[in-house]
Amino acid sequence: MTVEELQKLDLFKELSHSETAKIHAICKATKVNESERLFEMGNPAHTFFVILSGNYMVFFSDGTAYTLHKRGEITGWSTVVRPYQYTGTAVALTSGEVLAFDGSELLRIVQGDAALGDKIMGKVYANVGEHIAFAQSRAMDVTKQ
Partner 1 sequence: MYGLEAISQNNGWAISIVGVFIVFTGLLSLSLIIRLFPKLIEIIEGDKKTEPSPSKELKKEIEEQKISLEIDKNIKEVVRQYRYLISWMGEPFSLPRLVDLADKRGLVRPYSTINKLIQAKVIQPDGKGLFLWHAN
**Could you list the residues that contact partner 1 (CB under 8 A)?**
34-35, 55, 57, 59-60, 62-67, 69, 89, 91-94, 134
The CB density around residue 129, as the number of other CB atoms within 10 Å, is: 10
The SS3 call for residue 21 is helix
- At 101, the amino acid letter reads F
Which DSSP category does 27 fall into?
E
Hey, is 82 helix, strand or coil?
Answer: coil
Provide the minimum distance between the beta carbon of 68 and partner 1 in the complex, in angstroms, as a whole number: 11
Residue of 103, 97, 100 lying closest to 27 (CA atoms): 100
Q: Which is nearer to partner 1, 30 or 55 (CB)?
A: 55
43 or 67: whose CB is closer to partner 1? 67
Q: Please, what is the minimum distance in Å from the beta carbon of residue 3 to partner 1?
A: 31
User: In whole angstroms, how close is the CB of 50 to partner 1 at the nearest point?
Assistant: 19
Cα atoms found within 13 Å of the Cα of residue 116, Cβ hemisphere only: 17
Question: Closest distance between partner 1 and the C-beta of residue 38, in Å?
Answer: 13
